[in-house]
Chain A
């Protein structure tokens, strides 16, 4: 197999992660925030896969599976919360939820 430089794979993961982070920090629409979170989770999964290929171990892929499971559960709960939020406040603006102000 031709050699793909490992750092390129990891840098790609880093770029995707940073883009996800920008999305989380920037967007006010809570659905977008959740999507950005998915991007970040996916980026970390990518990093694991790259590492698994680098060392020739299957453990990295197993970690990716765990992340996948986590993402699925998180999305399910998160979307449930979004629905509930939309019912209560009739908006998806995350700035509305500021009851925890000290």
Chain B
């Protein structure tokens, strides 16, 4: 299982790097789906099968399909790829990379102070669902309203 975690982690990082470096937008999207699926594997390994399922279905499935639709609608073809290449000069990478690097170093620095050797516990669908429709039922309702608002505004915004 540990091996599975590290393999999935490596795939996630590599495919994410490919997403941000890729100039072909459809390829980038495929890489992103790969990354999301590997994160789903990690969820499973970490003992969260419900989250893993949702990650695969909602993220890698539904949301990415939305992206795909938009890319198709906008017809971002060959000329977009050339445009991307001209935008992605090596110069633009410097400042964001340095900043993100600093941020990562700081995060690692903070994490190194954590206590090690703690057993991970498996949290199954049952616990999550019981909690979700128990004390957090109001949050679920609010989330559904948020989705409804997202639906309505997306429809309105995309209208001609």
Which residues of B34-81 are within 8 A (CB) of A? 35-36, 39, 42-43, 45-48, 50-51, 54-55, 58-59, 62-63, 66-67, 69-71, 73-74, 76, 80
B150 contacts across to A, CB distance below 8 A? 72-74, 76-77
B147 touches A72 (CB 8 A): yes
* List of B residues within 8 angstroms of A38 by Cβ: 32, 59, 63
Q: Which residues of A contact B66 (CB under 8 A)?
A: 75-76, 79
What are 18 inter-chain pairs, A to B, with CB distance below 8 A? Answer: A5-B117, A7-B112, A8-B9, A22-B100, A23-B20, A25-B95, A25-B99, A32-B28, A49-B48, A53-B120, A58-B132, A64-B54, A65-B143, A69-B147, A76-B66, A83-B70, A84-B158, A92-B80
Option from A4, A22, A81 in Cβ contact (under 8 Å) with B20: A22
The distance from the CB of A87 to the nearest CB of chain B, in whole angstroms, is 8
- A16–B12 contact, CB under 8 A? yes
State the majority secondary structure of interface residues on B: helix
Interface residues of B (CB under 8 A from A): 1-2, 5-6, 9, 12-13, 16-17, 19-20, 25, 28-29, 32, 35-36, 39, 42-43, 45-48, 50-51, 54-55, 58-59, 62-63, 66-67, 69-71, 73-74, 76, 80, 83-84, 87-88, 92-93, 95-97, 99-101, 103-104, 107-108, 111-112, 114, 116-123, 127-128, 130-132, 136, 139, 143, 146-147, 149-151, 153-158, 160
